[in-house]
Structure 1
Amino acid sequence: MTPAKAGAVAAVVSGIPSTAHALFTGGDVLAATRAAGTLLPGRRGRPGVVAGFVAHVVVSAAWTGVLAAVARHRRLGAGGGAVAGLAIAVLDLGIAARAYPAVRDLPRGPQILDHLVFGAVTGALLDRPRETDQRTTSTTSPGFSEL
C-alpha cells in the first residue's frame, strides 16, 4: 500500500480510542480536534475544529513520511509501528503538552492510545504489498489472462 493511503487510513482510525473515551465518559468528542488546531501558527489560543483537522492531516502526513522512510529499510509491521507510535506520542505529547495548554488539558491515556493505533495501522499497512496491475492479455485468446 502506498504511504499516502496507509497514512490516510491510519489518520482516520487513530482517533478511535480518544473518541470512544469521550463518548463513554461524557466528554467532548471534538476536544482533541480543537486542541490540535492550536498547533497551527497564530492559533495557540484559538482552538477550532477546521484548524484541528488541518493540523491533524499535516502532523499525520509528516509522521507517515517518517514511518515510510523507516519501512523502506526495515519491516515495521503492526508491532514495530505501535512502538513507533509510542515514540511519536512521547515526542508529540511531550512537546505539545508543554507549549500548548489545550493539548495539555486532554486526557493523556486516550491520546497515547491514539498514537499507538496510528503507528500500528501505518506499520501494518506499509508492510502490505503494493497493488500492481498484473493483467496481461494473450495474443491468441483475446480477453483471457495469461497464467
Structure 2
Amino acid sequence: MKQLEDFSIGVLSERSGVNIETIRYYEKIGVMPKPARSAAGYRVYGNDHTRRLHFVRRGRELGFSLDELRGLLRLVDGHAYTCREVHALTIEHLKDIRQKIADLRRLERAMSDMAAKCTGDQVPECPIIDALFEVRLVKRSRVVQA
C-alpha cells in the first residue's frame, strides 16, 4: 500500500518534534526502520515514520529506555503482542520508576541535611564540602558509612 505522502527528514523532524540527528541515530540502532531512498539518494519518509517517532518520543517522555521501546516495537512490528505482554513490560517499568523515586527521596534528604549544616560563614571548612569528601559505601537502597 502506497503512503499518501512522502517527505524529507527535515519535514519528519518538524512533524515529530525530534531532532534530525536523533532520527538518524534511531535508524542506526534499529528503533526506526530504514527509509526508502529517492532516485537522488535522499531519505524519503511517510506518515508511518511520523507515527513511530511520536511513539518513541512519548515513550522516552514516560521514561522508557530505548531498549524497552525496541522491545515494545518488536511486539508491534510482528503483530504478535498481547495486552498482557505490554502490561507486564509496563509493570516492570513502573517498578523501576518507583525505585528511582525512592532513590531521589534519599538524595533529597541527604542534600537537605548537608545544606542545613551550612552556616554560610567564611571559614576554611565547609560542612557541604566535608560531606562530599566522606567515604560511603552504597548498598542497595541504603548508605553505609565506612
Category of TM-score, reference length = shorter chain = under 0.3
* TM value normalised by structure 1: 0.27
Q: Name the structure where helix makes up a greater proportion of residues.
A: 1
* TM value normalised by structure 2: 0.27
Q: Name the structure where strand makes up a greater proportion of residues.
A: 2
Determine which structure has more spread, i.e. the larger CA radius of gyration: 2
Q: Which has the higher contact order (CA 8 A, sep 6+)?
A: 1
